[in-house]
């Protein structure tokens, strides 16, 4: 059995055809939903990206894993795991699965995905275009300035 977990950033449930949106066309996600599991009553424990992702991979609320805010929020405390956490990737590895991250990590301050059992290429701070030379070069080619 394969497991594919997709977590979109700031996407409401009603933005997918699989959940009944008659206008937005998401045929590939709709096919995955037809052949897989669709959660009808799933809720986030917190409306903050990093804390919600940390809860998804640990199965515990932010007050228990310690990530209470996003790295870029400017605050100092509550941006990394407090104590050791067992993650979904580590549990799956124990069952013979390989867990790979693709895309935005955005969990903790300096915590890499490998520390949580995920394999794959990791680009620190991926998801923050203003800090990536390739994106800044792209904007420069277009004649745009970020600021």
Residue 49 annotated as catalytic: yes
DSSP 90-102: HHHHTTT---B--
Residue tagged active-site, from 65, 98, 102, 106: 106
Clarify whether 65 is annotated catalytic.
Answer: no
pLDDT at residue number 23: 94
- The torsion region of residue 103 among left (phi > 0), alpha (psi -120 to 50) and beta comes to left
Region of 32 on the Ramachandran plot (φ > 0 left; ψ -120 to 50 alpha; else beta): alpha
pTM for the model stands at 0.78
> Which residues of the chain fall below pLDDT 70?
72-77, 124-132, 145-147
End-to-end CA distance of the chain: 47
């Amino acid at each position: 059995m394969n497991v594919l977990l997709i977590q979109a950033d700031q996407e409401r449930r009603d933005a997918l055809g699989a959940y009944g949106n008659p206008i937005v066309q998401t045929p590939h996600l709709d096919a995955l939903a037809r052949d897989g599991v669709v959660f009808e009553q799933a809720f986030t424990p917190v409306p903050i990206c990093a804390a919600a992702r940390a809860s998804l991979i640990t199965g515990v609320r932010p007050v228990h894993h310690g990530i209470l805010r996003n790295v870029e929020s400017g605050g100092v405390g509550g941006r990394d795991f407090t104590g050791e956490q067992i993650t979904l990737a580590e549990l799956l590895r124990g069952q013979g699965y390989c867990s790979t991250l693709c895309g935005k990590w955005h969990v903790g301050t300096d915590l890499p995905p490998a520390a949580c059992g995920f394999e794959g290429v990791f680009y620190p701070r991926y998801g923050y275009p203003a800090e990536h030379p390739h994106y800044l070069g792209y904007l420069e080619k277009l004649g745009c300035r970020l600021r």
